[in-house]
Amino acid sequence: MKTIQRTLIIILLLSTFIHISAQEFQGIAIYKTSSKITMTMDSTKVSGNDQKELNAMIRKSMQKEYELRFNKNESLYKEIESLKNDGDSQGIEVIGLRSGTEGGVYKNSKTKRLVETRDLFGKLFLVKDSLENFHWKLEDETKQVANYTCHKAISVKKRTQKVTVLDENGKEKEEEKEFTTTLVAWYTTQVPISTGPASYWGLPGLILEMDNGRLSMICSKIILNPQKEVVIKEPTKGKVVSSEEYDSRFMEKVNEMKEMYSDKRKKKKN
């Protein structure tokens, strides 16, 4: 009888351990975003006060809250619907930054897949690609974020982009220009999963703070192993494209807007 009791106790303990292990890496992290974008306009056409007001509205429109649902291999980063900005931003939306507003940003670190919804001027795209290798450089510096000890990591990205410039005669022309962006991440090994906000990942712990030069994302709260299962659904809505295809469409739209603006200025002069 005692042998049977011991066996039952061992089975119960093993069942409990397996359940705890299965739930170990589940959780929800809340992030707040803020923008560093500043627009500089022709001071002969736009007053200093108007320029300050516009930049203030842009920064306000980018102050949002996101939820990152995660388990050992998957994560979904999505804007919190009930906290979306109201009409205070007066309809201002920074093009190219409306990412994950519908289905979110889904990452799978095991299969190295990225699936992300992006809204470009009201048209929804579903970007499917491989996860980017950020080539992180781990630093010795540490700090506290959301009551967790975080370690610093840096990644330097270089990209070439076509830009419009004026030649010696004052005429517009396109030329390729190289841009360098320094990404600064703060991750915690206390939550040992390789994911973070938006498309960022690849560190030996959850990224709690991310700064890409234009936007900062800071974790304010983490809920580990909630009683309810953390459900992660891969986005499915939108026209399927790769990252390169989306970037190409984005630049086409930007150039269209530039041409429209240029035509309006010419009509006003005439």
Q: Is the pLDDT of residue 205 over 60?
A: yes
pLDDT digits (tens, 9 = 90+) for 127-168: 999 999 999 999 999 999 999 999 999 999 887 766 666 677
Contact assessment for residue 32 and residue 59, using Cβ atoms and an 8 Å cutoff: no
Work out the average pLDDT over 16-41.
66
Of residues 86, 44, 40, the one with CA closest to residue 63: 86
pLDDT (0 to 100) of residue 120: 86
Domain ranges of the chain: 26-269
pLDDT digits (tens, 9 = 90+) for 212-270: 988 999 999 999 999 899 999 999 999 999 988 988 888 787 777 767 655 555 566 55
96: left (phi over 0), alpha (psi -120 to 50) or beta: left
Q: How far is CA 182 from the centre of its chain?
A: 15
Q: Which of 45-59, 89-103, 152-166, 177-191 has the lowest mean pLDDT?
A: 89-103
